[in-house]
Amino acid sequence: TSAKLWGGRFTGETDPLMDAFNASIHFDKKMYEADIRGSQAYAKALSKKGIINNDECATLVDGLEKVLEEWQNNTFVIKPGDEDIHTANERRLGEFVGSVAGKLHTGRSRNDQVTTDLRIWAREEARKLLGYLKQLIAVAVERAEREIDVLMPGYTHLQRAQPIRWSHWLLSYAWSWQADAKRLEQIIDRLNVLPLGSGALAGNPFNIDRGFLAQELGFNGIIQNSLYGVSDRDYIAELLFWASMAMVHISRISEDLIIYSSGEFGFVTLADAYSTGSSLMPQKKNPDSLELLRGKSGRVFGQLSGFLMTYKGLPSTYNKDLQEDKEPLFDAVETLSGSLQITAGVLSTLTIHPQKMRQNLSIDMLATDLAEYLVRKGVPFRETHHIAGAAVRLAEERNTSMSALSLSDFKHLHTAFDNDIFEIWDFEKSVENRSSLGGTSKQTVIEQIRILRSWLAEH
């Protein structure tokens, strides 16, 4: 018979190419710790039911700890027969403790084992990502507070629209990141339920205490259907969607900053630490960090759609196709981990040029304020919009700025105009007028900072 763990019924050897094709150890070794913790808990659960005695249990738990140390010290040697992390750990355990290692897998299958490991791994990695997200939010909040007096042009359609605070722009992304963080917390909550004890598909025949297993492994619930337990990978899809959404936000702020750092805008300069030069043009300083962030988003979306394709056609329970769930997740987690940290680095070190932002504020960006001026004098907004439009046109025709129009010019457009009209040509005032909750006034930006800070403190 074959020497493989599952080799009992096999007489022929597998094609060596098939062995390599089948193997997942080169990527699923990432889950070595989750696999060992899962096995230690399972050994204890077996001893609670008298399937193994206390000495055997201690032998298995200690042996597994030795295997863990080898992984941690980088001394674990992967052998040719080690198909995946589960078989590798069990093989090594056997070398440490002898034949009792053969009792560990009683009632367990790699089908419930692999998804238990993956949930543990995903939970731990997601918590790290949550930490990076919070650091990123903290960077934005800190900067927003420090630079709250800086005004810049706000855009719609990438056309100059209305003056806003730089901090308001910055915080708009902090709110997206907070939504990402909340979404991730919910996903962690949903995925943190125990599949172990589902067996291969039909359940565990040794009345294993799954409540005990859940407690030992930090799960906050137990999957109640064994078929579902070994089959469900929704959590992978959710994490990949989460990662995609988070990358959309990172890609969008990158796009903003790439534009703002161009010579034409000149609002920001990236730190040298996050820029590179050109091999040909000595004057160039390129925003490579931001371009990579924008570019890597595509790769994460690909992992999401690729995984959904793999997942969608599978019949009930475990199918080997599911081995293809790991690489997309591992890659997305790695990409997000790098991207969140690099974004925080870029954002905390870039220099802003408030003068340049100011210079790009133009009086036409106050046309809305002009319309609102008349509204305050009792003229219906739909009319005032037209009148302000006429003022824009008049200034354009005269090749001048609206602020250069005279009171009689304005009176000509509408009799409600008065001497106080000249007070509206003030960007600061325009910004301060937007003081309803969520607006760009100083007070409402400070309020945003307060809310985000207290959320950060609670999480």
CA-to-CA dists, residue 360 to 146, 392, 431, angstroms: 21, 17, 15
Candidate list 24, 116, 204, 448; residue touching ligand ARG; CB under 6 A? 24
Indicate the residue among 84 and 331 with the shorter CB distance to ligand ARG: 84
Task: Pick one of 92, 110, 119, 233: the residue that binds ligand ARG (CB under 6 A).
Answer: 110
- Structure tokens that stand for 441 in this block: 């006034």
Give the residue with the Cβ less far from ligand ARG, 5 or 148. 5
- In whole angstroms, how close is the CB of 16 to ligand ARG at the nearest point? 18
Kindly state the DSSP code that residue 7 receives in the 8-state scheme. Answer: G
Contact 5, 86 (CB under 8 A): no
Per DSSP, what are the bridge partners of residue 384? none
**CB environment 290-301: b (16+ within 10 A), e (fewer):** beebbebbeebb
Q: At 75, phi and psi to the nearest 5? A: -110, 0
Of 84, 90, 232, 372, which one interacts with ligand ARG (CB under 6 A)?
84
Residue 114 touches ligand ARG, criterion: CB under 6 A: yes
CB of residue 318 vs ligand ARG: minimum separation in angstroms? Answer: 6
The angle, 0 to 180 degrees and rounded to 10, between the axes of the packed helices 110-146 and 234-260 is 30
Chain position carrying tokens 């250069």: 404
Q: How far apart are CA 166 and CA 153, in angstroms?
A: 9
Site residues (CB under 6 A) for ligand ARG, limited to 284-343: 318, 320, 322-323
138/96 Cα distance (integer angstroms): 47
CB of 3 to ligand ARG, least distance (A): 17
Binding to ligand ARG by CB under 6 A, coded x per residue (else -) over 360-389, reads ------------------------------
Exactly one of 2, 24, 105, 157 is catalytic; name it. 157
Cα–Cα–Cα angle for 352, 358, 359, rounded to 5 degrees: 110
454 is an active site residue: no
**Helices vs. strands in the chain: H and E counts, helices first:** 18, 4
Q: Tokens 């037209």 label which residue?
A: 386
- Euclidean distance between CA atoms 92 and 36, whole angstroms: 11
Q: Does the annotation count 348 as an active-site position?
A: no
**CB-CB contact of 410 with 390 (8 Å):** no
Nearer to ligand ARG among residue 36 and residue 344 (C-beta): 36
Burial class (CB in 10 A: 0-12, 13-18, 19+), 89: buried
Cβ at position 236, least distance to ligand ARG in Å: 12
Size of the site for ligand ARG (CB under 6 A): 10
Q: Is 125 in the site for ligand ARG (CB under 6 A)?
A: no
Tell me which residue of 430, 361, 351, 372 sits closest to 401, measured CA to CA: 361
- Catalytic residue (one of 99, 231, 275, 278): 278
Check: CB of residue 177 under 8 Å from CB of residue 249.
Answer: yes
What are the φ/ψ torsions at residue 164 (nearest 5 degrees)? -140, 170
Burial of 321 (0-12, 13-18, 19+ CB in 10 A): middle
Q: Tell me the angle at which helices 288-312 and 234-260 cross, rounded to the nearest 10 degrees.
A: 160
Q: Which stretch binds ligand ARG (CB under 6 A): 106-114, 172-180, 300-308, 443-451?
A: 106-114
The three-class DSSP label of residue 416 is coil
Interface positions with ligand ARG (CB under 6 A): 24, 28, 84, 110-111, 114, 318, 320, 322-323
Give catalytic residues, as residue numbers: 157, 278
